Structure 1
Amino acid sequence: MTGRAPVAVVMGTRPEAIKLAGLVTGLGDDALVVHTGQHYDAQLWENVQADLPGMHVDEHIHCGGRSRGEQIGMATSEMTRFLSSRDIRAVVVQGDTNSTLAGALAANALGLPLVHVEAGLRSGDRRMPEEINRILVDTLADLCCAPVERNANQLIQERVTPDRIVITGNTLWDAMAMIRPTPQGTAQALDSLNVPPGDYVLATIHRAGTVSDTERLVGLLDGLDALAEQAEVVFPVHPRTSAAIAEAGLSGRWQRIHMVQPLPPSQFMALEAGATLLVSDSGGVQEEACFLRRPLLVLRDSTERPELLDGWCRLLGDQDPAVAIDRAWADARQWGADLAIRQLPYPGESASSVIAAEINRRWPA
Structure 2
Amino acid sequence: MSAKNDIAVVLGTRPEIIKLAGVIRNLGSRGSIHYTGQHYDDELSESFFRTFKLPAPQLLLNGISGEHRSIQISRATYQLAEHFRRVSPRLVIVQGDTNSALAGAQAANYCGIPVLHVEAGLRSNDRNMPEEINRRLVSVLADVHCAPTSWNAANLVSEGIPLYAVRVTGNTIVEATCESLPGVEESREILGKYGLCENEFILATIHRPENTDDPQRLAEIIDALCEAPIPVLFPVHPRTAESVRAFGLADRLSRIRRVPPLDYSTFLSLASHARLLISDSGGIQEECTIIKKPLVVVRRNTERPEALASGFAVRVRHRHEISEEITRILANSELARILVNRPCPFGDGKASERITEIALAVADGGALPPGERLGEFSYTCEPQVVQGGAVGRALLRSPVQRGSLAQ
Tell me if both proteins adopt one fold, taking TM over 0.5 as the criterion: yes
1:278 aligned residue: 277
- Code of the aligned partner of 2:216: E
2:323 aligned residue: 323
Q: Hey, what's the Cα distance between the residues in 2 that align with 1:319 and 1:252?
A: 18
Alignment of 1:110-121 (within 5 A): 110-121=111-122
Q: Which moved more, 1:10-19 or 1:186-195?
A: 186-195
Structure 2, unaligned runs of 5 or more: 367-407
Give a deviation string over 1:261-284, Cα, whole Å, max 9, x none.
111111111111111100110000
Q: Hey, what's the Cα distance between the residues in 2 that align with 1:359 and 1:332?
A: 45
Q: Hey, what's the Cα distance between the residues in 1 that align with 2:205 and 2:350?
A: 27
Evaluate the alpha carbon distance shift between residue 45 and residue 332 of structure 1 in structure 2; reply closer, same or farther with a 3 A threshold.
Answer: farther
| Structure number with bigger Rg | 2
3-state DSSP of counterpart to 2:245: helix
Alignment of 1:156-171 (within 5 A): 156-171=157-172
3-state DSSP of counterpart to 1:54: coil
Q: 2:296, 2:322 within 8 Å by CA — same for their partners in 1?
A: no
2:45 aligned residue: 45
Q: 2:5, 2:29 within 8 Å by CA — same for their partners in 1?
A: no
1:249 Cα shift? 3.0
Evaluate the alpha carbon distance shift between residue 5 and residue 48 of structure 1 in structure 2; reply closer, same or farther with a 3 A threshold.
Answer: closer
Evaluate the alpha carbon distance shift between residue 21 and residue 253 of structure 1 in structure 2; reply closer, same or farther with a 3 A threshold.
Answer: same
Q: 1:145, 1:166 within 8 Å by CA — same for their partners in 2?
A: yes
* TM-score w.r.t. length of structure 1: 0.93
Q: Hey, what's the Cα distance between the residues in 1 that align with 2:220 and 2:83?
A: 44
Question: Cα RMSD over matched residues?
Answer: 2.0
Q: Hey, what's the Cα distance between the residues in 1 that align with 2:251 and 2:11?
A: 34
Give a deviation string over 1:190-232, Cα, whole Å, max 9, x none.
22334355511111111223211222112111111221xx211
3-state DSSP of counterpart to 1:96: coil
1:137 aligned residue: 138
Give a deviation string over 1:88-115, Cα, whole Å, max 9, x none.
1111111111111111111111111111
Q: Hey, what's the Cα distance between the residues in 1 that align with 2:302 and 2:333?
A: 24
How much identity, in percent, do the aligned residues show? Answer: 39
3-state DSSP of counterpart to 2:334: helix
Q: Hey, what's the Cα distance between the residues in 1 that align with 2:23 and 2:15?
A: 14
Q: Which moved more, 1:191-200 or 1:29-38?
A: 191-200
Evaluate the alpha carbon distance shift between residue 197 and residue 309 of structure 1 in structure 2; reply closer, same or farther with a 3 A threshold.
Answer: closer
1:41 Cα shift? 2.1
Structure 1, unaligned runs of 5 or more: none
1:333 Cα shift? 4.5
1:331 Cα shift? 4.3
3-state DSSP of counterpart to 2:346: coil
How many residues are aligned here?
363
Evaluate the alpha carbon distance shift between residue 102 and residue 223 of structure 1 in structure 2; reply closer, same or farther with a 3 A threshold.
Answer: same
1:3 Cα shift? 5.1
Q: Following TM superposition, where does structure 1 have runs of at least 4 consecutive aligned residues deviating by more than 6 angstroms?
A: none
2:262 aligned residue: 263
2:174 aligned residue: 173
* TM-score w.r.t. length of structure 2: 0.84
Q: 1:297, 1:328 within 8 Å by CA — same for their partners in 2?
A: no
Alignment of 1:142-161 (within 5 A): 142-161=143-162
1:76 Cα shift? 1.3
1:77 Cα shift? 1.5
1:297 aligned residue: 296
Tell whether 2:94 aligns with 1:93. Answer: yes
Q: Hey, what's the Cα distance between the residues in 2 that align with 1:357 and 1:137?
A: 21
Q: Hey, what's the Cα distance between the residues in 1 that align with 2:88 and 2:342?
A: 46
